[in-house]
Amino acid sequence: MTIVKKALPYFLAVVASFIAAGIFIALMGFDVFKAYSTILFTSFRTPNGFIQTLLKFVPLVLQALAFTIPLTAGKFNIGGEGQMIAGGIGAAVVGILFSSLPAYLLLPLVILGGIIAGAIWGLIPAWLLYKFNINEILTTVLLNFVALALIDYVCTGALRDPGAGHPTTVAIGVGGWLPLFMKNPPFHAGIIIAILVAIGVYIYTARTTGGYELIATGANPRAAGVFGIKVRRMFVLSLLLGGAIAGLSGAIEVAGVQHRLIEGMQSNYMVLGLIIGLIAKGDNRVVPFVAFAIAILEVGASAMQRTLMIPVEMVFIVEALILLFVLLSDVVRRK
């Protein structure tokens, strides 16, 4: 009964957001019920729709965790985009330079290259915070622009694919490709990695001493410091872990989806990751479920645009309204 009571305000918030967005859709002259039917059920009507949803889920859940882990320590990682790009670059460079290695060596190296590159990209703002007390929001955002310039340099430099019409590197070695569960439609093993990471993050933050120290730091840094927790180190650790997980999302895009580095592969995953993290209120247990729901909306949005010619931005409005109403539900409940 307690769970129902806790979940009810959020359920009502989601319903209210769909009603509000439905008004916009109706005013634009579209069929609201057909639009929502397309958004909500495309993922379950065909095997291809469900697999596309799972493929969307992988980077979304990793980007959300890259935001919520620092949030646990009271820090805001807004650099998931740059860290994902850095991870993609690290994975692609390793996969191209060592393309002749067998799969049992190359694939772990590709994934590890992405994780390390993302961790380094997260370590830069962490170090600036630790050494000079520079706000991590500013530095993580600015590093996104540096990463965008860097991926353009890599994709148009020595590793570029001269036959491609878009800034793209040559393909990584076949041994660096993630194994497929299905070939048609292609469905890679990145889903297993994402689920294991989500479970690992929950266990670490909820069941270990290190996770307790992160939570204590986020709850009250001054009190945590009084009780012997190295607060500044916790800040650095949280941003480092966030960067590593965001880098992993880039590595999986390279190894599982594109098999090369492509400019623009980061899409809008970071923004959606922030929305997921905020809707989940930083609770790592809830993040995978919210990420899956957002993946359903994203796949449904593409289908809605193709079949009904409704602008895909309508789903962005729905997602924004869900976040707004969820936040407002807390205010109403407190009052």
Which pLDDT band holds residue 25 (cuts at 50, 70, 90)?
Answer: confident
Mean pLDDT of 277-297: 92
Which pLDDT band holds residue 268 (cuts at 50, 70, 90)?
Answer: confident
Q: Look at residue 305 in the predicted model and tell me its pLDDT.
A: 82
Q: Look at residue 3 in the predicted model and tell me its pLDDT.
A: 62
Two tokens, residue 306:
């193709």
* Of 38, 45, 136, 121, residue with least CA distance to 84: 121
Q: Look at residue 330 in the predicted model and tell me its pLDDT.
A: 72
User: What per-residue string of b and e applies to 167-176 under the rule 16 or more CB within 10 Å gives b?
Assistant: bbbbbbbebb
Q: Measure the CA angle with vertex 92, ends 82 and 115; round to 5°.
A: 55
- For the entire predicted model, the pTM comes to 0.94
Q: Please write the tens of the pLDDT for every residue from 40-90.
A: 888 898 889 999 999 999 999 999 999 999 999 999 999 999 999 999 999
Predicted confidence (pLDDT) at residue 312 exceeds the cutoff of 80: no
* Of 109, 145, 108, 143, residue with least CA distance to 123: 143
Q: Look at residue 32 in the predicted model and tell me its pLDDT.
A: 87
Q: What 8-state DSSP symbol labels residue 182?
A: E
Mean pLDDT of 212-239: 94
Q: Please write the tens of the pLDDT for every residue from 117-153.
A: 999 999 999 999 999 999 999 999 999 999 999 999 9
The secondary structure of 16-84, three-state, reads HHHHHHHHHHHHCCCCHHHHHHHHHHHHHHCHHHHHHHHHHHHHHHHHHHHHHHHHHCCCCCCCHHHHH
Mean pLDDT of 214-238: 94
Q: Measure the CA angle with vertex 137, ends 132 and 143; round to 5°.
A: 85
Q: Tell me which of 117-121, 168-172, 325-329 is least confident.
A: 325-329
Phi, psi at 78, each rounded to 5°: -100, 15
The third-level CATH classification (topology) of the domain covering 53-309 is ABC transporter involved in vitamin B12 uptake, BtuC (1.10.3470)
More confident residue, 113 or 186: 113
Which pLDDT band holds residue 2 (cuts at 50, 70, 90)?
Answer: low
Predicted confidence (pLDDT) at residue 173 exceeds the cutoff of 70: yes
Q: Look at residue 111 in the predicted model and tell me its pLDDT.
A: 98
Which residues are within 8 A (CB) of 113 and not within 5 positions of it... i.e. 6 or more apart?
Answer: 90, 91, 93, 94, 95, 251
Predicted confidence (pLDDT) at residue 269 exceeds the cutoff of 80: yes
